[in-house]
Structure 1
């Protein structure tokens, strides 16, 4: 029997891609972001993209386009927009309208009655009103008949070459045991962490602002991660370096691998950082190290805000490099402007994290079947 999924707040489809890698059939995705919707359509041809605000998405329409009846869907996935919860938003709180979007997700849960639910969000959700958002999610799902467990998953523990923490809620209404996937990568485990070299070391050099279109990979034996990202491809695109201004280009040569704004001569620092404490802004103007992990990929790979400088080239990382650090395969091409592409990459669930969740869900489903037998 096919395992089916629908992805709400799907963005470009990172979670959907991971679920598909695990063997799920993704039937539909919904998002309000037009460029992300075009990416989803291009990269998930078997799924139906349902554009527009979730407030305007009816259960009846989902049923109509998927052919499902209530109770037939295996898993309803979705991560309400995280800005209201994010530790980067100091005005977060339950009063923020975005923080109530999970209630729209619950409305669709109530209408579709999926066997399983998966919700993903940033760790800042725990600090809203001393955990009010988390308690509300679990309480309301319980009222709908779902048992739910939450855990913080680290993307690097599942082969993603990036330090990224996400809260994942897993629940079901069928009485099955609930747990979260165990780490597969890291010290003492079957696989080491995926390094930045493993992730992007096969991508050809770029100058500041340089765009050569579709180009061959560098020669040499690719890493296991690179082979996974390439598939059968021999060339790659989307590998255009952003254009940094003159003063930034003057700063970059002073920053060594693993260095940051502290390595820039005082007279070249931005005015606001000339007064900064050495302990402040730890990631700003950070240069990656080949043997390390990337910092969290955000919706702007802006060197002023994070460690997004290439390990040995004086430039910011490209969309393709950001996508690799999020574990997006190279066949995933992002629609929209370059700014919109960075937003899609940064907002996504890394597909390999999605695959780990999907693989684990299938194990839980199979275990329940064996127990029932």
Structure 2
């Protein structure tokens, strides 16, 4: 089956699709840094359209009649996020970019589409966006199914829920995959084999200091001797001092008041701020983890790009481009490849 990835970001969904046997040939991504990362890891036949999706016009895809076509992607989700209450409304223009996804589907008439977003889209404006999206696809003649999937059920060491709408042009009802992992993959299994870092570590490539002792780490290493993008934002000393007071599973509430003097009202901090991960549990959501000050479970520093990528299920040979800030954003915005892979493996079975 041939694939077209819209709002691709760094390519988490594309990676899962390719692993499931989808030949992703056309890609649309407005951010030049994410596009550079995509091209460093994927080689789509028709390249990547690096511009506003509203300027993109569907073209001819050779071979689609023989192999079938699936369009997939996740329109920008920040406006639906539960952490952005001020933007969760009908007035936020970015919340309407799903219309561009619909437009492209209408232009290509693919056999299947896979629409992905955050769980907050189910709650925004009482669910009006979901109802509208479902209605738009049904009017185009698609049989649609929707569900909320949890990444931990598919081997991802992160408590991340994603909402999917999947449609068939040929009257087929997509059956969502059952959980593949009854035992949760923990933070320890995901990152404990990676090199120890200091605050502000800036050496991109580091050799592994020890053997991987669990299947998850072995899978993501894939025979490599070291990893790239093991980079950490340099925090000032007051931030590091705050980190020292936070136990595993703790957050800003554990920080003494005298170290929080720059906050006008410490009690109004979001519960996700200054959260230290726990080694024996899956991670909390890897979103804007630099802004949220997510803390390494045993070292007094933030997460490295590679550690965050591991928690998203990106393999170590997946290279991120741009400055560290852009790399962090790309990782945080991505769909976990293992979750995407489960979706597309089921889709492939539906086409047989």
Quickly name the TM-score band, shorter chain normalised.
over 0.9
**Which stretch of the first structure deviates more once superposed, 251-260 or 101-110?**
251-260
Q: Is the CA contact (8 Å cut-off) linking 2:88 and 2:125 kept in structure 1?
A: no
Alpha-carbon distance in 1 for matches of 2:44, 2:53: 21
Q: 1:290 aligns with which of 273, 279, 284?
A: 279
> Alpha-carbon deviation of 1:71?
9.3
Instruction: Determine the structure 1 residue equivalent to 2:184.
Output: 193
Cα distance, 1:73–1:365 mapped onto 2, change above 3 Å: closer
> Alpha-carbon deviation of 1:282?
2.6
Tell me the SS of whatever aligns to 1:39. helix
Instruction: Determine the structure 2 residue equivalent to 1:370.
Output: none
Q: 2:73 aligns with which of 53, 75, 78?
A: 78
> Alpha-carbon deviation of 1:88?
2.0
Q: Is the CA contact (8 Å cut-off) linking 1:73 and 1:113 kept in structure 2?
A: no
Matches of residues 109-258 of structure 1 in structure 2 within 5 Å? 109-185=105-181, 189=182, 192-258=183-249
Alpha-carbon distance in 2 for matches of 1:158, 1:23: 18
Alpha-carbon distance in 1 for matches of 2:197, 2:5: 35
Alpha-carbon distance in 2 for matches of 1:148, 1:316: 41
> Alpha-carbon deviation of 1:72?
6.1
Matches of residues 29-48 of structure 1 in structure 2 within 5 Å? 29-47=27-45, 48=47
Tell me the SS of whatever aligns to 1:29. strand
Number of aligned positions between the proteins:
350
> Structure 2: 5+ residue runs without aligned partners?
none
**For each residue in 1:324-365, what CA deviation from the matched residue of structure 2 results, as whole angstroms up to 9, or x when unmatched?**
111111111111111111111111101001101011111222
Tell me the SS of whatever aligns to 1:106. helix
Alpha-carbon distance in 2 for matches of 1:179, 1:273: 50
TM-score, normalization by structure 2: 0.94
Alpha-carbon distance in 2 for matches of 1:326, 1:103: 27
Cα distance, 1:346–1:270 mapped onto 2, change above 3 Å: farther
Q: Is the CA contact (8 Å cut-off) linking 1:70 and 1:113 kept in structure 2?
A: no
Tell me the SS of whatever aligns to 2:80. coil
**For each residue in 1:127-166, what CA deviation from the matched residue of structure 2 results, as whole angstroms up to 9, or x when unmatched?**
2332211111111111111011111111111111101111
Q: Is the CA contact (8 Å cut-off) linking 1:73 and 1:112 kept in structure 2?
A: no
Alpha-carbon distance in 1 for matches of 2:254, 2:278: 15
RMSD over aligned Cα atoms: 1.8
Cα distance, 1:85–1:281 mapped onto 2, change above 3 Å: closer
> Alpha-carbon deviation of 1:89?
2.1
> Structure 1: 5+ residue runs without aligned partners?
367-373
Alpha-carbon distance in 2 for matches of 1:240, 1:98: 31
TM-score, normalization by structure 1: 0.89
Q: Is the CA contact (8 Å cut-off) linking 1:11 and 1:37 kept in structure 2?
A: yes
Matches of residues 81-100 of structure 1 in structure 2 within 5 Å? 81-90=76-85, 91-100=87-96
